[in-house]
Structure 1
Amino acid sequence: MKRGLTLAVLGLLLGGCGGGSPQNAPPGNSEARRAKLHDSVKSTPFKHVLWESILPAVDVTHVSLRADSLFIEVVETSGDRKGKTALYRVNTRNGVVEGVVDLPAPLDFRPAMVDSIVREIAQLEADRERLLKERDVEATRKDKNVTKVEGLSDQIVKKTDLINSMKAQDRVYAVSTHDWLHVIERPAMAELERERLAFVPSTAAAASPSVVFIGALERNRLIGLDPITWAEILFFPADADIRTTPIVAEPGNVYFASEDGHVYGYTADGRAKLIDYETEAAIVCDMCLDIEKDEGGKEKWGALFVASTDYALYCFNRISGELLWKYETGSELRTTPRVSGDVAYVYARQKGLHAIDKRTGKLLYIKQDAWFPIARGKDRVFIAGPNHREVISVEERTGRELGRASIAEFAHIASEPGSRTVYLVTDDGFIFAAKESEIDY
Structure 2
Amino acid sequence: MMNAFFVNIFVNVIKNRRAHWVMACVLSFMLNQLVMTAAAATLSNIHVNSGPSKTIVTLEFVGGYPDYRFFPLHSPERVVVDIRQASKISGLPMRLSDQNLVKLVRSSQSPDAHHQRVVLELAHKATTISTVKHVGNKSQVVMTLKANGAGINSSVSNKHISQSESKYLLTNNAPMTGKEIERRTVVIAIDAGHGGQDPGAIGQRGLREKNVTNSVARKLEALLRNDPMFTPVLTRNGDYFVSVAGRSEVARKHKANMLVSIHADAAPNHSARGASVWVLSNRRANSELGNWLEQHEKQSELLGGAGNALANGTDPYLSQAVLDLQFGHSQRVGYDVAMQVLNQLSKIGSLHKRTPEHASLGVLRSPDIPSILVETGFISNLSEEGLLGSNQYQEKLAQAIHLGLRHYFLANPLQAEPR
**When the two structures are superposed, what TM-score results if normalisation uses the length of structure 2?**
0.26
Q: Which has the higher contact order (CA 8 A, sep 6+)?
A: 2
**When the two structures are superposed, what TM-score results if normalisation uses the length of structure 1?**
0.25
Greater strand content: 1
Greater helix content: 2
